[in-house]
Structures are given as C-alpha cells and as structure tokens.
Amino acid sequence: MGQNTKAVTDATFEDEVLKATGPVLVDFWAEWCGPCKMIGPSLEDLAAEMTGKVTIAKVNIDDNPLSPSKFGVRSIPTLMLFKDGQLAATKIGAVPKQALQAWLQENI
C-alpha cells in the first residue's frame, strides 16, 4: 500500500467511500493479481497528482470479500468511482496511466 492511496476494509467501506466528501475511486485488487500490481504505481501517482480532487482507495478482495460481492466485482482489477455514495463509473482491467487519468477526469 502506498502513502497516497488509502486502504479500505469491509468494516470501513461505508464511512471511507459511501459517506466520503468528494469522489472516491476504489481499486478492488489482490496480492496474486499481476495486472493489479501493474496499475498500482499509476494509481499512487494519480492519487498524489489529484489530491483534493479524488481519493483513491484500495480494497484487498481476499481480506475483504463483502464489498466486492456487494458491488458485483467479478474480475480484478476493477476500479469503481463513487460520488455521494453512488457508483458513478466502473473500469475493469489494467489500463495505462494516461487512460486512467482521462477516465477519471471525465467522471469526477
């Protein structure tokens, strides 16, 4: 877990994501997932570059199975953007940082 992203658990999901002020991008990931590790550094960079505009949270699906099943996560990495407690946009799979940034800009 990097210093710019926030670790979120099933127990803290509601407070950290659904009740958050401002948009929250949730990265559903796992240690064994290669593509998840590929986008990790991009998410760290974006979290630093977009401080104050969006919070980037990470949910380890192995440790926290409730949140991904509640939101129908079937493959990882799955990125879900929440605004005011509502799911606003979803992106599945590893994409380059530029594409992630463009998608985020479009949706926040």
The alpha-helical segments, DSSP class H, found in 1-108 are 13, 34-49, 66-70, 97-107
Answer whether 33's CB lies under 8 Å from 77's CB. Answer: yes
Q: Distance (Å, rounded) from C-alpha 14 to C-alpha 93?
A: 24
Active-site hit among 33, 43, 94, 95:
33
Concerning whether 33 is annotated as a catalytic residue, the answer is: yes
Active-site hit among 8, 36, 39, 59:
36
Residues recognised as catalytic? 33, 36
